[in-house]
Amino acid sequence: MSIRFQALFRWFAGPPIRLRLLACLFAVAALLPSASVMADTLHRGVGPEPDSLDLHRAQSLSAINVLRDLHEGLISYSADGQLIPALAERWEVSADGLAWTFWLREEARWSDGQPLTAGDLLAGWRRLLDPATASPQAAWLDRVVGAEAIRRGQAGPEALGVEILSPHQLRIRLLRPTPWFAELLTHPATYPWPGENSLRYSGPFLLEEHVPGAHLHLVRNPAWREADRVRLQAVRWHVIEEPNVELNRYRAGGLHITETIPPGRLDWLRSQVGEELRIAPYLGSFFLAFNVGREPFRDRPGLRRALSLVIDRELLAERVLGAGEIPAHRLIPPGMPGWPTAELPSVDREARLQEARALYRAAGYSEARPLTVELRVNTSLAHRRMSVAVAAMWREHLGVRTRQISEEWKVFVANRRHGRLTEIVRGGWIADWRDPANFLQLFLSDSPLNYSFWRDQRFDELMGQAAEASGPSRIEALVAAEDRLLDQQVIVPLYYYVSRHLVKPDVRGFEDNLMDVHLSRWLWLD
């Protein structure tokens, strides 16, 4: 018997019964964790370690999710994924769509209590566009007057078309109307800049502790403009790369919300957790990307097509991954507003295999002289299962020998970006805003996110036409650009994402939405 329980029994032996019962209640309460502490800290899975918490260098989804808790921009998301005013209390767009005027909240403060002004936002945009920052998102501001020239080093920061009208009012001038510009402003890359190596935060939470590879512990920011409406005292984002480990942590009570679910266990999970399993449509695509800048895939679209044709997407999504994914044959995911529904390719499996074998032989390969390729992914159970299955299909139908390489996320991202080692890499994109150009811009010749290293004048021209157009003509140009990308066999679309989380019954405020954005400010524990 523990010392504390021995003391409890001695209380029962002494004073009158009423006092003994009262003492018992106090003693039991002392043995239990604080209910308020348990109820006020939300434990969430974040997936891999965030690649960076620098607003202008972060690329991973895990980093973006954490940054949206720590900072906020002019515009944000409601719990159901709708655009709402954030740092800006309101804005107006001119009749020609070229001037956006924002009024910032005068009560906005950094976490150190200092006023948050229009100058902080301008400072952030200038740093984003500075060539020395080397931000992979810098081109997203190209619609702003002067932005492209600045990021290319052809103009100074003063050329940017952002005018500060007062400490809490600014005007942004665009080169052409941009209907999705408001949604762009929800991305952390466009947020106010706290300063180099600064510990200031503009959002509802601030970072109290970061243990790399383990967790990021966020606490409520008392200086935030609506701190009294945030119902959580703290959020702990847990770094867990393996979905099975995350599932075990969830079932043991260590997580309230998972980042994903393990592949191949969808039916089992449905039987075990019922309504705690949340699967919903999501604007995201997963694909393999060829490095067309080096051998063996340079100038060989036929060989690339052969490898694509033999992959059974339906089998991959349903049997290998088995977490609700939708087989994909194109880049742009279904549900994109205004995007036409594409026709599915022929399902004549044998005809596809015969064409693949002919293309493979035409490229100079055979059973006697098989192709040896390298397929590189980041560490993840789902990616390993995908890699093994794809390699098996290539081997069975073509005789291809595949070296499978799995790397920690940061190493993988660096190797994929430099392209000196890569041949085929896993790729994917989650919509930053609801527009097809957000996916297609990855493959522009000068895009820092173009890890296929494809340089195609026709594709760039079509994207340029879309940038100058609006309405149906813009969509036509973007459809033609996607057709060009797919005709040249630059990528192998495999599946469309769905959002998939496990959510404990006591979590409130979690609403499924197409962007799969679930800001911690909207969540609480019952």
108: CATH:
3.90.76.10
> Do the domain assignments include residue 42?
no
State which H helix or E strand residue 501 sits in.
Answer: strand 491-502
User: Both 357 and 458 in a single domain?
Assistant: yes
Residue 125 parent element (H or E): helix 118-129
Say if residues 309 and 492 touch (Cβ distance below 8 Å).
Answer: no
Please check whether residue 129 is in contact with residue 138, taking contact to mean a CB–CB distance below 8 angstroms. Answer: yes
Q: CA nearest 45: which of 267, 235, 263, 302?
A: 235
Residues 135 and 216 in one domain: no
**Whether 378 and 431 share a structural domain:** yes
**Residue 45 forms part of a structural domain:** no
Pair (79, 172) in one structural domain = yes
Answer yes or no: do 267 and 287 share one domain: no
Enclosing domain of residue 344 = 281-499
Note whether 311 and 181 are same-domain residues. no
Q: In this structure, what token pair is assigned to residue 498?
A: 């769905």
Asked if residue 313 and residue 405 are part of one domain, the reply reads yes
**Could you tell me if residue 197 is inside a domain?**
no
Asked if residue 296 is part of any domain, the answer here is yes
Inside any domain, residue 55: no
According to DSSP, residue 158 is labeled G
459-463-466-467 Cα dihedral, nearest 10 degrees: -160
Q: Are residues 221 and 145 in the same domain?
A: no
- Residue 200: CB partners within 8 Å, gap ≥ 6? 110, 111, 112, 114, 194
Are 329 and 347 contained in the same domain? Answer: yes
Asked if 450 and 326 sit in the same domain, the reply is yes
From start to end of 291-432, where are the E strands? 326-327, 372-378, 401-407, 424-430
The CATH number given to whatever domain includes residue 324 is 3.10.105.10
Q: How many angstroms separate the CA atoms of 218 and 237, rounded?
A: 8
- The enclosing domain of 513 has a CATH number of 3.40.190.10
Which domain-ending residue is among 128, 160, 190?
190
Name the domain count of the chain: 4
Could you tell me if residue 79 is inside a domain? yes
Residues 148 and 215 in one domain: no
Closest Cα to residue 70, out of 230, 274, 266?
230
pLDDT in tens, the chain (526 residues): 333 333 333 333 444 444 444 344 333 333 333 333 445 899 999 999 999 999 999 989 999 999 999 999 999 999 999 999 999 999 999 999 999 999 999 999 999 999 999 999 999 999 999 999 999 999 999 999 999 999 999 999 999 999 999 999 999 999 998 888 999 999 999 999 999 888 999 999 999 999 999 999 999 999 999 999 999 999 999 999 899 999 999 999 999 999 999 988 888 999 999 999 999 988 999 999 999 999 999 999 999 999 999 999 999 998 898 888 899 999 999 989 889 987 777 668 899 999 999 999 999 999 899 999 999 999 888 899 999 999 999 999 999 999 999 999 889 999 999 999 999 999 999 998 889 999 999 999 989 899 999 999 999 999 999 988 888 999 999 999 999 999 999 999 999 999 999 999 999 999 999 899 999 999 999 8
* Dihedral sign from CA coordinates of 161, 163, 167, 168: negative
Tokens at 193, concatenated: 């800049």
Domain end call among 165, 190, 215: 190
User: Taking a C-beta distance cutoff of 8 angstroms, is the pair 412, 421 a contact?
Assistant: no
The last residue of one of the domains, among 143, 161, 190, is 190
Q: Does residue 100 fall inside a structural domain?
A: yes
Q: Flag whether 58 is in a domain.
A: no
Residues 494 and 386 placed together within one structural domain of the fold: yes
Record the pTM. 0.78
* Element housing 239 (H / E): strand 234-239
Estimate to the nearest angstrom the gap between the alpha carbon of 12 and the chain centroid.
57
